[in-house]
Structure 1
Amino acid sequence: MIVRIMGEGQVALADSHLAELDRLDDELLAEMESGDGPGFRSTLHALLARVREFGTPLPDDSLEPSELILPSSDATLEEVRAMLRDDGLIPG
């Protein structure tokens, strides 16, 4: 799976990591719904850190279609809310 982190670039990520990322995504969604700003920020950073850890960066000149687009680490709660699908940022 190709994942884009806005403002950073793309990484190739094995599907085997989606369960852990989905767990963080569920936590992020709950914090957004409750208005927990500090929790939201912490979980967003944890989610992006895991994607960076598990993913293999693609070259900057690579133009692969992204299957998943994640917000930048400095995205606001409102910006992330606008990116949400019914099941969060990560399908599943």
Structure 2
Amino acid sequence: MIVRIMGEGQVELDDVHLTELNRLDDELLAEMESGDGDGFRRTLNALLDAVRRLGTPLPDEALEPSELILPSPDATLEEVRELLSDDGLIPS
């Protein structure tokens, strides 16, 4: 799967890692619903760090269709709320 982190580029990520990413996505969704800004920031960074750690960056000149688009690390709670579906950032 190709994942784009807004403002950073694309990462190729094996589907086997979706369980870990979905767990973080569920936490992020709960923190957003409760308005927990500190928890939201911590979990967003953990989610992005996991994608970077588990994935392989694509070259900057590569423009592959992204199956998943994640917000930038400095995105606000309100900005991320606009990106969310009922399933969170990562569809189940």
Q: How many residues align?
A: 92
Counterpart CA distance in 2 for 1:90 and 1:14 is 14
Does residue 76 of structure 1 match 2:70? no
Shift of 1:3: 0.1
Paired residue type of 2:11: V
Q: Which residue number corresponds to residue 17 of structure 1?
A: 17
Partner of 1:29: 29
What is the deviation of 1:76? 0.1
Gaps of 5+ in 2: none
**Cα displacement (A) at 1:4:** 0.1
How far has the Cα of 1:50 moved from its partner? Answer: 0.1
Question: 1:1-92 residue pairs with structure 2 within 5 A?
Answer: 1-92=1-92
Identity %: 79
TM-score normalised to the size of structure 2?
Answer: 0.99
Q: Runs in 1 of length 4+ with deviation above 2 angstroms?
A: none
Shift of 1:72: 0.3
Unaligned runs of 5+ residues in structure 1 are none
Question: Given residue 15 of structure 1, which amino acid in structure 2 is its aligned partner?
Answer: D
Normalising by structure 1, we get a TM-score of 0.99
> Residue 3 of structure 1: SS of its match in structure 2?
strand
Deviation at 1:7, TM superposition (A): 0.2
